[in-house]
Amino acid sequence: MQSPAAAAHSVLTPASPHAVAIAHLARLFFSLGALVWLAVLAFLAWSLLRSRGLNQPTEDTHVVRRQTGAVGAALALTTILLLALGFVDYRTGRGIEKAHARVLSADTVRVQLIGHQWWWEIRYQQATWPFQVTTANELHIPLGRPVVLTLESRDVIHSFWAPNLHGKSDLVPGYSSQFLVQADTPGVYAAPCAEFCGTQHAKMMLLVVAQPPDSFAAWYANESRDAPAPRSDSTDRGRQVFLAAACPFCHTIRGTGSGGTVAPDLTHIAGRRMLGAGAAFNTRTELGGWIENPQGMKPGNRMPANLVRGSDLPALLAYLATLK
């Protein structure tokens, strides 16, 4: 498994046409800004340090004329610069908008992305079977193909933001908005929630996995299948533990009869890189710790203390590990 540490999260290493356009624009604004800053400070330093014979606070018409000229010129320059920046900014914005309108086609991948306090529900919507596939906290997308996200929230306002791919778009309860992303470089991209959404806003991370079309297709086919049946006594007992405890009230493992929808779908939990929406890496130890004390690594999250006995934990973990 790829190390989760590799999840990229920078505006400066864009991996999509949108992010490239924005990074160019940001660099332009930044460079011009830095120049202006240095120029202002240089003029200030010169004004303070230049030697002068003037001493009394008297108005001298020659001095006033020079001051008026300098301030007027600086003002003109500022205005021209702002107009130019405004124009370039408008063109970039229009470019991104037009690109959005152009790419939509039957080929487009459509995903409903639903924000919850504090995790992401992901529902792929396809015109062909399987019509819908549900997963959580890890969005896989095929390289080079536009993906239209339908953004919704079930509680408070969240914001989708994968810095390497595009800017932000809010998930506002009661609204449904469309947002287009595309990745041209394979990789794992972090998308931390970018609108303050309560206690665990800090641990509400979506991973975006951009992969070549064939491996995406393989992942998608696997994801659309029900959970595999247990193949050993130990894993079978683990499944019984899962079903007998409170777990099914909130979680779904397709193929087991459990159907809770208020918490992440666990059908293929073992295939995911992280736990608790980016709270920890998905290792057996961390998962065991999470189940034993759900409030430990992500205090305030909505998973209540449960009655899984310590002696049942190894079997449960063994079963969950088969849910690839």
Largest CA distance in the chain: 98
Distance between CA atoms of 199 and 36, rounded to whole angstroms? 41
When asked if residue 262 is in the footprint of another protein (CB under 8 A), the reply is no
Pick the stretch among 84-92, 221-229, 241-249, 306-314 that binds another protein (CB under 8 A).
84-92
When asked if residue 87 is in the footprint of another protein (CB under 8 A), the reply is no
Token representation of residue 90: 């408008």
Nearest to 167 by CA among 42, 322, 19, 10: 19
CB of 50 to another protein, least distance (A): 7
x/- mask, another protein, residues 271-290, rule CB under 8 A, reads: -------x------------
Determine the residue type at 276. Answer: G
Considering only residues 37-76, where is the footprint of another protein by CB under 8 A?
37, 40-41, 43-44, 46-48, 50, 52, 54-57, 59, 63-64, 67-68, 70-71, 74-75
Sign of the alpha-carbon torsion through 139, 94, 157, 132? negative
With beta carbons less than 8 A apart as the criterion, state whether 162 and 208 touch: yes
Pick the stretch among 195-203, 227-235, 254-262, 306-314 that binds another protein (CB under 8 A).
195-203
With beta carbons less than 8 A apart as the criterion, state whether 149 and 178 touch: yes
When asked if residue 123 is in the footprint of another protein (CB under 8 A), the reply is no
Q: Give me the DSSP letters along 29-61.
A: HHHHHHHHHHHHHHHHHHHHHS-----S----H
Find the binder of another protein among 17, 163, 264, 276 (CB under 8 A).
163
Find the binder of another protein among 197, 263, 308, 315 (CB under 8 A).
197
CB-wise, 54 or 106, nearer to another protein? Answer: 54
Find the binder of another protein among 168, 215, 240, 248 (CB under 8 A).
168
Is residue 112 within a helix (H) or strand (E), and if so which, with residue range?
A: strand 109-116
CB of 163 to another protein, least distance (A): 5
Tell me how many residues contact another protein (CB under 8 A).
85
Find the binder of another protein among 80, 130, 131, 198 (CB under 8 A).
198
When asked if residue 182 is in the footprint of another protein (CB under 8 A), the reply is no
Find the binder of another protein among 20, 65, 80, 94 (CB under 8 A).
94
When asked if residue 304 is in the footprint of another protein (CB under 8 A), the reply is no
Tell me: cis bond preceding 118? Omega within 30 of 0 counts: yes
Token representation of residue 219: 């992942």
Find the binder of another protein among 15, 21, 114, 180 (CB under 8 A).
21
Token representation of residue 132: 């819908």
Around 260, how many Cα atoms within 13 Å sit in the side-chain half-sphere? 14
**b/e sequence 86-103, b meaning 16+ C-beta within 10 Å:** eeeeeebeeebeeebeeb
CB-wise, 37 or 249, nearer to another protein? Answer: 37
